[in-house]
Structure 1
Amino acid sequence: MRSLPMLWRMAEDMSRMPRLASPFHAFFHEPPVWSVALPRNWQQIARWQEQQFAPPATINKDGYKLTLDVKDYSELKVKVLDESIVLVEGKSEQQDGEQGSYTSRHFLRRFVLPEGYEADKVTSNLSSDGVLTICVPNPPAVQETIKERVVPIEQTGEPSKKSADEPKSETSQQ
Structure 2
Amino acid sequence: MALLPYLLDDLRPHRIRDQLFGMDLSPDDFLADIIDRPIVRMKYVRPWRNLAAAARDVGSTIKTDRDKLQINLDVQHFTPEEISVKTADGYIVIEGQHEEKQDEHGYVTRHFKRRYALPEGCKPETVESRLSSDGVLTVIAPKSSQSKDERAVPITHTGPVRRKQHDDDQINGNAEEETKSPQKKRKR
Q: TM-score, normalising length from structure 2? A: 0.43
Q: Which has the larger radius of gyration?
A: 2
Higher helix share: 2
